[in-house]
Every structure is written in structure tokens, then in C-alpha cells.
Chain A
Amino acid sequence: MKNKAWETFDKVEASEELKQQTLRYVLNENKIKRRNYKAPIGIFASFCIVFLVYFQFMQPKTIQAYSYITMDINPSFQLVLNQDDHVQEIVYYNEEAQSVLKSLDMKGKEYEEALTLILTNKEYKTYMKEDAYLQVSVYSKDEKRANNIEQNVSTYLNKNVKIPHECIHVNEKTMQNAQSHHMSSGKYMVIEKIVKADASYKVDDLKNKSMAELRTIYYTITNEELDTKGNHQNGNGNQNHKHQGKNQ
């Protein structure tokens, strides 16, 4: 179809140089695109948003920390429970707790089962001497749940523990203060009473004492037995379960 006039147009062609330049440009551009950090950053940002939304709003109730049980004798630790009352984490507040409990497989177990594991553990039993004192505290986001756990733990302890012991449930403020000092809320509550009775004592000086030692200090200062009843509950003043054991 081409006539002679179109022959001029034949001269318009891509030079070898342009072809090679184009080849290099296209392949390099593609490498640059592959190195482009926008896409990975975008993906990462999207992932973070999904992650945050998930953990902020959609986290299954079973993996949210809901209730806390702390135990002090001198091993001092905290069982973190999910909404189904299963142990999801163990927080050790001193080396003794870590040394005694690290071999126990409590994660995922119901708290009563975890208590059995702890109280029947040979090493833990060595701390349960006649002059020892077992302090247990309970906190839950749900007041009714806290009462329920406290009741169950008290019943369990009364049945299975022969040494003096006490199970109380604490309010949110005590719980937060205790955490800020990295100690159990049961121990913090007792220390708070000592400091209140004698300001020369400091919280951090007392945090490594056993519960029996703390009670002795309190008795020395005030000449009275420590009574935690009614001081750290949320409204209902009848939520404190104290048992002096057979020998007291």
C-alpha cells in the first residue's frame, strides 16, 4: 500500500542505541520498583493497623488478662487469668518464686488446678513451715468474679493448707500500686499498712521480706495483729477470708 512518498517515513526508526537504552531503562526501572520501600511500608502499616484493631477491639476474650491471683509466702508470684479463669501467664516477683515454679506447667490450666500443682509441689512445701504465713490476694475486672474466685480459693486453702493463711480481694488502685512497685498486691497491701503505721519504713526496703516477717514487723510497731479486713475491698465488707490454721 505504500507509495514512494511514504519512503521518507521508513527512515523514522528506533536506533540500536535507543533500543538498548530502553531495554536497560525498563529492566532497571523494574529493579528500582522492586527496591521501592513504599509497598513493604504500606503492607507493614496495614498489618500494624489490623494488629492494633485486633488487640484493641477484637481480641478473643480468652486471651485478655481478666483476673489476678497473687500468692506470697516468700516465693511471691502472680497468676494472670483469662476470662475463662485459665492461667495465661505467671509473673514472678522474686527469684525464689521463679526457682520453685518454673518447672510447673500451669499455663492453660484452671486456677484451682494450678493451685493444686503449686501447693503439692515439693519445693513449695518447704516454705510452708509452721511459722510461715500464706497471703493470697485476688483482683478481677469483674467484682462478682473477684468474689467468686476469692470464695473458691479460700475454701480450697482452708481445706488443704495447714499453716496460717489469708485470702483477700483487692481493689484496682491497690493492684496498680503493687504493679508499679513490681510486687504482689497482697504483699503491697501489708507493706502499705506498715508504712502507714511507721513512716520510717519504705516500701522498697520491705518488698523482699516474707509475709511472716512483715506481719511480725507490723506487730512490733503496733502491738496488734495485722487485720486486712475491710480495707481493700470494693464495697462489700464481707469479702475477706482469714484462716489461722490449726496451730494458731
Chain B
Amino acid sequence: MKSETQLQNAIELHGNMIRKLCFLHLKQKADVDDIFQDVFLKYYQSDFEFNSSEHEKAWLIRVTINACKDNLTSWFHRKVELKDDLQALHIEAPKEDNALLESILKLPKKYKNVIYLYYYEGYKTKEIANILEVKENTVSTWMRRAKDELKGMLGGDYLEE
């Protein structure tokens, strides 16, 4: 089990990243907050020894993605369609800037992950493959398909601007 100091440091260091990942996958602010807390509970209770801060971050990403997946496949979420818009999630931005974000949110889960990890977190394809525990080629394929879908939605290559 981790110490209180380790927990505080992890929340401070990786809190924003976890919140973004939750935001990408979940439709309700309440769910986002729940998963955020559960991820850190798992972290606190884990006996896993991390080699580095990057190692810790990769572990948290994987746990968060899995927790979001579990949340979305729960009976409640399969039966009940809930959705908060960006305003409900306290995101205020010019409409044109929201366009990319809104489009990414519409992507399938696996595409969202690779786009976020590659473009926002700056991970390489190989690193993403390790984090998501899939083949590198799979990551490349997902990336290509995600970009194609975004192009279709936005009418241009916003990602490469």
C-alpha cells in the first residue's frame, strides 16, 4: 500500500491527466469524478513498485482506461443514455476550438485513446502499444482510422495544424 505522501504526489502530478482521460470516455461529470477517485483508491491500495514516474503514469493510464471501460459496460450505462455537454463539464472555449474536442469525443474508445496519448501526451506508437497492451501495428491502424474519421467530421487535418 502506498503512503499518504505518495498518494498526494500522484494526485498532484497525474490528476489532470486522469481527469482528461475520464472526460474522453465518460458522459457524466458524476462518473468522471467517481472514476477519478476509484483510480486513486486502486493506486493507494496497490503494492506495485514503480520504477519511475513515467512507469507510474503509464500504470495510471491503463487503470483509468480499464475503469472507464468497466463503467461504460455496466448495466446502468448500457440501459440508460446519459449525456452532459461540455458546459456541464465546465469547459468553456471558443466554438471552433471545441470542434476538435467534440469530434474526438465522438470517436470509438480505442481511437480516442491513441489520439489522446499520441497527440496530447506525446507518447510514441511503441509506448502506446505497451500501455494499451496491444501490437504496435494495431496502434498505427487505430491512429490512421481515427484521423480519417476526424477528417471526415472536421473537413480538414486539424491534428497536424
A61 beta carbon closer than 8 Å to chain B: no
Query: Are A26 and B7 in touch, CB under 8 angstroms?
Result: yes
State whether B36 touches A9 (Cβ < 8 A): no
Q: Report B-chain residues with C-beta under 8 Å of the C-beta of A120.
A: none
The residue from A4, A6, A12, A21 contacting B37, defined by CB atoms under 8 A apart? A21
- Which size class do B's interface residues fall under? 35 or more
Given A4-B161, A18-B33, A18-B36, residue A12 in contact with residue B89 (CB < 8 A):
yes
Mark the stretch among B12-20, B54-62, B77-85, B134-142 that contacts chain A.
B12-20
User: What is the distance, in angstroms, from A79's C-beta to the closest C-beta of chain B?
Assistant: 55
Decide: A23 and B98 in contact? CB cutoff 8 A. Answer: no
Main secondary structure of the interface of A (DSSP, over half): helix
Task: State A149–B29 Cα separation when bound (angstroms).
Answer: 83
Which of A6, A7, A14, A29 is B36 in contact with, Cβ under 8 Å? Answer: A14
Taking A3-B161, A5-B161, A9-B120 as contacts, is the C-beta distance between A25 and B41 under 8 angstroms? Answer: yes
Q: Which B residue's beta carbon lies closest to that of A13?
A: B16
Residue of A nearest to B19 (CB): A14
A residues 59-84 with Cβ under 8 Å of B? Answer: none
CB proximity to A under 8 Å, residues B28-50: 33, 36-37, 40-41, 44-45
- The interface residues of chain A lying within 8 Å CB-to-CB of B98 are 8
Residues in chain A near residue B7, CB distance under 8 A: 23, 26-27
Residue A11 CB within 8 A of the other chain: yes
- Interchain CB contact under 8 A, B19 and A13: yes
| Contacts A3-B160, A27-B4, A30-B45 given; does A9 touch B40 at CB 8 Å | no
Q: Which of B16, B93, B159 contacts A3 (CB 8 A)?
A: B159
CB distance from B107 to the nearest CB of A (A): 14
* B100 close to chain A: CB less than 8 A: yes
Shortest beta-carbon distance from B81 to chain A in Å: 22
Given A1-B119, A30-B44, verify A8-B15 contact (CB < 8 Å): no
Is B97's CB within 8 Å of the partner chain A? yes
> Among residues 1 to 48 in chain A, which have CB atoms less than 8 Å away from a CB atom of chain B?
1-9, 11-14, 18-19, 21-23, 25-27, 29-30
SS class, residues of chain B in contact with chain A? helix
Which of chain B's residues have a CB closer than 8 A to the CB of A3?
Answer: 158-161
Known contacts A2-B119, A4-B97, A12-B89; A23 and B19 CB within 8 A of each other: no
Given the interface pairs A14-B36, A26-B41, the reply to whether A6 lies near B119 with Cβ below 8 Å is yes
Residues from chain B with a CB closer than 8 A to the CB of A5 are 97, 99-101, 158-159, 161
B11 touches A22 (CB 8 A): yes
Q: How far is the CA of A120 from the CA of B115 in the complex (A)?
A: 96
In this complex, what residue of B is CB-closest to A20?
B11
Q: Is B23 an interface residue (CB 8 A)?
A: yes
In the complex, whether B92 has a CB less than 8 A from a CB of chain A is yes
User: What B residues does A26 contact at CB under 8 A?
Assistant: 7, 37, 40-41, 44
27 A-B interface contacts by CB (under 8 A): A1-B120, A2-B119, A2-B120, A3-B158, A5-B101, A5-B158, A6-B100, A6-B120, A7-B93, A8-B97, A8-B98, A8-B100, A9-B20, A11-B92, A11-B93, A12-B16, A12-B23, A12-B91, A13-B16, A14-B15, A19-B12, A22-B15, A22-B40, A25-B37, A26-B40, A26-B41, A27-B44
Besides A23-B8, A26-B40, 9 new A-B residue pairs in contact (Cβ under 8 A), listed by A number: A3-B158, A5-B100, A6-B119, A7-B97, A8-B91, A19-B11, A21-B37, A22-B36, A30-B41
